[in-house]
Amino acid sequence: MGTATARNGSTATAWRNWAGNVTATPTRVVTPASVGELQEAVRRAAEDGLRVKAVGTGHSFTAAAATDGVLLRPQALAGIRSVDRAAGTVTVAAGTALKDLNRALAAEGLSLTNMGDIMEQTVSGATSTGTHGTGRDSASIAAQIRSLELVTADGELLVCSEKENPEVFAAARVGIGALGIVTAITFAVEPLFFLTAREEPMGFDRVTAEFEEHFAENEHFEFYWFPHTGNCNTKRNNRSQGPAAPPGPVSGWIEDELLSNGLFQAVNTLGRAVPATIPSIARVASRALSARTYTDIPYKVFTSPRRVRFVEMEYALPREAVVEALRELRAMVDRSRLRISFPVEVRTAPADDIALSTASGRDTAYIAVHMYRGTPYQAYFTAAEQIFTAHGGRPHWGKVHTRDAEYFSRIYPRFGEFTALRDRLDPDRVFVNDYLRRVLGA
């Protein structure tokens, strides 16, 4: 990749996201060492007529962070600022990686209530795109925010909570980078607890028939369906008294290597080269699983390493529609010539009150489809998207989709509230890019 010297003497380098499907060449890259430096970078960019985007670790599959203007990298704005045990909150700088936050909280005897299945993202990147795990009662990471700091287009710093700038707080927790640059987040936390995970293979017909039962009986329920098979793997996480009893070395290897990393990488490489082998591989892989139970602190149960790179689409559906949509997806794959080497993931979330959260105002279930990086994914994703949108699906803001502002204005009742706030906070569109023009309008 080429480089170019920016006006302020910094070197601008072409940027690429984690999956490698999005690239951009900004005019300049700024790594602010303080909130004041970040505010000044925004002001200068506006004076120079440049657009501004902040980028975390690049785990979004969309071009939400891409810009040809000023790319802000907030990684120097990292670490826990304060812990308020009485209030049950922690305030953390926006560039902090979730993995560092989780480990620091555990050392303090604290934890988030729920989290996604990877923890490489920055806290601001994860929340701004609506990253979530699975939960019957506990919602996305953004729904655990109690306040945040936001640098607006004029370089001012807004503190937002239910009591202070509440209309901004209602939207900016999942702001897609459209309202400003988040510099700090205060999360609700609770005393560290144990989760017992029960993983169990289960047939597709059974898990779909019993989906509502599994959802109701477990605090955190999810499952993976292996395309080209009738096999699934279920995971139920529930609180327990402990003590910690982590996975043994054999079952740990199966999960972390066979399903997620080393061997899975080799299998996908073979499948990419010889697609005809994929159904056979899927049948073998799905049958290699056996039931296991283990107990650990939350982040060690919720999250897993993900070294195999892929491209992903995920849609949030009304929970009552998810089983029918999944059955339609299976029927589509079975009658097609597609060869899908990645499992399909199904998770849930309760309704929340964030304007553009994928679970805004409705109990939600998610279906995520993946393809190995470098494998053509458009045919699969297009067919899946047609199924999901027919059920009123809302795409994850950080994952591949083709929807636009006209679509979102119909499926988000509070879409107009968000865009009106954007008009007020960023009338000159300092924070715009091509992605935001598509999903929010000009």
In degrees, rounded to 5, the angle at the alpha carbon of residue 322 between the alpha carbons of residues 317 and 324 is 130
pLDDT digits (tens, 9 = 90+) for 329-358: 999 999 999 999 899 999 999 999 999 999
Give the Cα separation of 419 and 405 in Å (integer).
Answer: 10
Ranges of residues in the chain whose predicted pLDDT is under 70: 1-12, 250-263, 288
Q: Alpha-carbon distance 320 to 267, whole Å?
A: 35
HEC sequence for the chain: CCEEECCCCCEEECEECCCCCCEECCCEEECCCCHHHHHHHHHHHHHCCCCEEECCCCCCCCCCCCCCCEEECHHHCCCEEEEECCCCEEEEECCCEHHHHHHHHHHCCEECCCCCCCCCCEHHHHHHCCCCCCCCCCCCCHHHEEEEEEECCCCCEEEEECCCCHHHHHHHCCCCCCCCEEEEEEEECEECCEEEEEEEEEEHHHHHHCHHHHHHHCCEEEEEECCCCCEEEEEEEEEECCCCECCCHHHHHHHHHHHCCHHHHHHHHHHHHCHHHHHHHHHHHHHCCCCEEEEECHHHHHCCCCCCCEEEEEEEEEHHHHHHHHHHHHHHHHHCCCCCCCCEEEEEECCECCCCCCCECCCEEEEEEEEECCCCCHHHHHHHHHHHHHCCCEECCCCCCCCCHHHHHHHCCCHHHHHHHHHHHCCCCCCCCHHHHHHHCC
In this prediction, residue 11 carries a pLDDT of 54
- The pLDDT > 70 percentage for the chain reads 94
The token pair that represents 129 in the structure block: 């795109």
Give the per-residue pLDDT at 3. Answer: 37
C-alpha distances out from residue 311 to 68, 228, 287, Å? 23, 19, 25
Structure confidence at residue 144 (pLDDT):
98
Q: What is the distance between the alpha carbons of residues 426 and 228, in angstroms, rounded to a whole number?
A: 48
The residues, any chain, with a CB within 8 Å of residue 305's CB and separated by 6 or more, are: 118, 256, 260, 261
Which pLDDT score, from 0 to 100, does residue 8 have? 42
**For residue 187, what are the β-bridge partners?**
90, 145
Tokens at residue 34, please? 């303080």
Q: Which residues pair with residue 147 across a beta bridge?
A: 161, 186
Taking only the tens place, the pLDDT of each residue in 350-371 is 999 999 999 999 999 999 999 9
Q: pLDDT tens across 98-146, in order?
A: 999 999 999 999 999 999 999 999 999 999 999 999 999 999 999 999 9
CA distance 422 to 180: 9
Q: Kindly give, in sequence order, each residue whose CB lies less than 8 Å from that of residue 340, ignoring residues fewer than 6 positions away.
A: 227, 228, 278, 282, 333, 369, 371, 380
What is the pLDDT at residue 305?
79
Would you say how long the chain is, in residues? 442
Whole-prediction pTM:
0.93
Evaluate whether 295 touches 242 at the Cβ level (below 8 Å).
yes
**β-strands 52-54, 70-72: how paired?**
parallel
State the Cα–Cα distance between residues 394 and 404, nearest whole angstrom: 11
Question: What's the longest Cα–Cα distance across the chain?
Answer: 61
Q: Give the C-alpha separation, 89 to 42, whole Å.
A: 29
* pLDDT on residue 45: 97
Q: Which of 149, 154, 143 is nearest to 164 (CA)?
A: 149
Residue 175 CB coordination number (10 Å): 29
Cβ 333 vs Cβ 228: under 8 Å:
yes
